[in-house]
A and B are shown apart, each in its own frame.
Chain A
């Protein structure tokens, strides 16, 4: 029992040592990302999009409101009917809005979530969020790792900091940077929306847009589910990107390395859309539990009420185990990969290296 305890303490000490320097790497990477001109321009463009999109929603919303349907018919002709009183004629002249609802939805509002469109937009919206964050973070991580490798700096760095700390610091900095971008975009979007309606008085049928439909439906517990699932997804793709990046020796190889997480992300996205559209309970359960794919499917299926919380928890645990395995793999071979110079190592070979390796790379 005592030896087991000692072993655990030793493991924890090693883990702590392996992550020594993560904070410094994190601060430096984040500072340089914020200073990078290309990143600043990207951020400005995204903020601009976030600022102008409510105006676009408002303009397109106004032109396509239901006034153009029934109300337009009344407007085209003289709507004053002599047989009616003035009040009745005025009532007819008012703006008409139509909200179409299915009978089952009217009878049982809970059933409304089974609506195909809702399922599609919920899956689509969540998947878009994951795709945006994962692709952006993966490409940033690969670029950052390859930059250190191709500039031959990494060998010098490894004397000062452990490889896992180098990777962890980068991943955290990049995730914080991207989270910052998203928060800024949300702030810009919200401000612009408020400005549109409260200041300019633009009466857009915002609810018709998928974005607002989704935002309106998300509860606090859903937001927590989305956040946890996003974190597991981003960590999975980020560690994978770090390993793929470490298998490159030159910036030219980076595109090839980027394709691995990209294909995985896009593949999972397409599968998640198919699963969501199929609306098959067995398929929903399988997709929610399957590692990596679960990142895209499990939270949506939970929010739609297709799976229960224990299943979602199970999906998180499985995905967590995948992340731990990836970290373990990274700690075993990341050092060797960083030293490696030559043709790009493919993911299969990297995994085989990790399995075949007898022990830790660094002393």
Chain B
């Protein structure tokens, strides 16, 4: 299986919002679509999924145009939602049927995902047994303890997000598109989401992810595209991009103030706090020279970590500072 996006273009009037975006996924994994706000990520995703008409370019899945009929797609939109007043189980069964998953298969899939995302209590409320569970007495009407499946507006935002992820994965899709999947989640729920993403990767699924949380992208993604003002400014395999930059980031912790010495060596200080420095070096040679100098001056070194730049650092460098946003 393979996904190919070639020369995707979109403009509104004279404003180009996506300018010849091209990338491909020839094997399962996670592809990251990154960019500053308004760079064209969501528009690109909408065009890839066929929701928005394209001005140019094409998207193929196994060399055939990508449509609802040629590919089983799961989508977690950036602007998420559910029917606020309808029972959750009804909604999930409806979404499953729309994707062609019916009957017991749909129920089994819902049960499995509910367990994985820890939302069973909202979908399968405790049945009344003996006289122990009194409807509405302890948790209020429709709290999930009254034998009635809950409604969306009775859930917290995080739990609603879990139901939305469930809805996206109901048909066990081949291609999963996650637009800002972890935004607004607490660390515990974010870990649950990460677990699900990891599981889908292990199953050999194709994922496209758009996120501003670079650590998450770095954790999962193999290839990236960074967009800035509709244009692709960086693209390729994440490891290769990092390698090409070299080991230019030095994290140094010592027992005395060495700011003056660092400046003497011609090294740029990124941040400095209580004798702990984040530095930009030109490469291993300059870092070793600094270490040698510290040894000569008998300054005890607590931490000396020379590494490749993180995705966050690459992104900030390439996409620009926040004031560069449109």
Contact = CB atoms under 8 A, between A and B. Distances in A.
A359 interface: yes
B157 to A, nearest CB: 12
B136 interface: no
Contacts of A160: 68, 95, 98-99
A170 to B, nearest CB: 13
Given A151-B81, A159-B51, A160-B98, A363 B90 contact: no
Contacts of B81: 151-154, 156
Interface string B67-80: 11100011111011
A151 B97 contact: no
- Chain B CB within 10 A, most for which of A156, A157, A158, A161: A156
A179 B67 CA distance: 36
Contact of B53 (A17, A156, A161, A361): A361
Contacts of B66: 363
Interface in A137-161: 147-148, 151-161
Contact of B164 (A32, A36, A148, A156): A156
Interface residues of B, number: 34
Interface string B169-200: 00000000000000000000000000000000
B206 to A, nearest CB: 15
Nearest to B59: A363
B65 A363 contact: yes
A28 B167 CA distance: 16
Contact of A155 (B50, B51, B94): B51
B79 A28 contact: no
B168 interface: yes
Contacts of B50: 362-363
A320 interface: no
A359 B82 CA distance: 30
B95 A155 contact: no
B82 A153 contact: yes
A162 B53 contact: no
Interface string A335-363: 11001010000000000000001111111
A24 interface: yes
A157 B73 CA distance: 11
A363 B74 CA distance: 16
A86 interface: no
Contacts of A125: none
Interface string A29-70: 001100010000000000000000000000000000000000
Given A28-B94, A362-B50, A159 B65 contact: no
A162 B94 CA distance: 15
B53 A336 contact: yes
A338 to B, nearest CB: 8
Interface in A301-349: 335-336, 339, 341
Given A24-B98, A32-B90, A153 B52 contact: no
B49 A159 contact: yes
Contact of A31 (B90, B95, B99): B90
Given A24-B97, A336-B53, A363-B50, A159 B83 contact: no
B79 A155 contact: yes
A256 interface: no
B82 to A, nearest CB: 6
A14 B85 CA distance: 34
Interface string B4-48: 000000000000000000000000000000000000000000100
Given A153-B81, A155-B79, A363 B168 contact: no
A24 B94 contact: yes
A156 B68 contact: no
B252 to A, nearest CB: 46
Q: 3 closest pairs, A vs B, by CB?
A: A363-B50, A152-B81, A151-B81
Given A156-B76, A160-B99, 4 more contacts: A152-B77, A156-B95, A159-B75, A335-B53
10 contacts: A24-B98, A147-B84, A156-B75, A159-B49, A162-B68, A335-B51, A335-B52, A335-B53, A339-B46, A362-B51
Interface of B: 46, 49-53, 59, 65-69, 73-77, 79-86, 90, 94-95, 97-99, 164, 167-168
